[in-house]
Structure 1
């Protein structure tokens, strides 16, 4: 039996370049015998962390009643996580950062996972994505047993579909197949 792969797309733009890479990764992962599920954060109601620390006093239960508990349950059940974001002003977008912040309530339970990062940006310079990668690494550094397995850099991808003509399109598929 294959691995359980959870793909999280934080793009607010449906069927945009970030989603395209997520789909390619999923195709490769499925062909390699894995189960995949994709969560589109634009379809979820996830409020920001209130920094109230109630979750630490209530066994990990957040005071917010939104879609985050459902997402956290799926994160914890996965073997592999793919975190995909468009790069806005040299960093991950707010939807992805918000998701990361909201894992605080139960981040100690997120353990022993393989991570892949996929980034898209209009900029042609891969260095424009350094801060985003470091943001993802900062998150996984806090998780026990997290292993970074690969990064897809969708540079030069501004308009919907631009990423299809780039190496990142094939890279996403091959990384999915490698699981």
Structure 2
């Protein structure tokens, strides 16, 4: 049994990214794995101040929910990162969280990582987000195992009845 941590950067409850996260989670649970979903928009995460105090203390000077998120990431076997695309990039909430990896970046490797990327473009238009997230997570020492594409979806719920739903379930059930 693996511990699967899902980080959803969807700003909309039951938005397309969030729906795919829950589908991945259902697949992992059906396969007997322990899952936890964190909606990043429910968490308080301030911007990194680049003070680098964390280099000497190992802790961020900001007191918000990032320490809890980092603890959970370190404890997980599998990390799922989901984001809608905004102007051909990950959304700002996810980028803010990633910037705050700084105090523990050396201890965030060794995980299997899955990416969930949604947007109104076809996969070709979403590839920049995959490349960026793949670079970040492999650079931390993780192995990106796959990417689920919620392509050509914009309005809330449009991802339902697409192939991405089955892909998310299958990825979760085969970790």
The verdict on a shared fold, with TM-score over 0.5 as the criterion, is yes
CA distance in 1, matches of 2:10, 2:4: 19
Structure 1 ranges of 4+ moved more than 6 A: none
Equivalent residue, structure 1, for 2:170: 174
Tell which deviates more after alignment, 64-73 or 131-140: 131-140
2:138 touches 2:144 (CA, 8 Å); kept in 1?
A: no
Deviation at 1:57?
A: 1.3
Q: Deviations over 1:95-118 (max 9, x none)?
A: 111111101110101121000000
Superposed CA RMSD in Å reads: 0.8
Q: How many angstroms does 1:42 deviate by? A: 0.6
Aligned to 1:130: 127
Q: How does 1:56-75 map to 2 (within 5 A)?
A: 56-58=55-57, 60-75=58-73
1:107 to 95, 105, 108: 105
Q: TM-score, normalised by structure 1?
A: 0.96
Aligned length in residues: 175
Shift of 1:21: 0.1
* Cα offset, 1:165, TM superposition: 1.9
Which of 138, 144, 168 does residue 148 from structure 1 map onto? 144
TM-score, normalised with respect to structure 2: 0.98
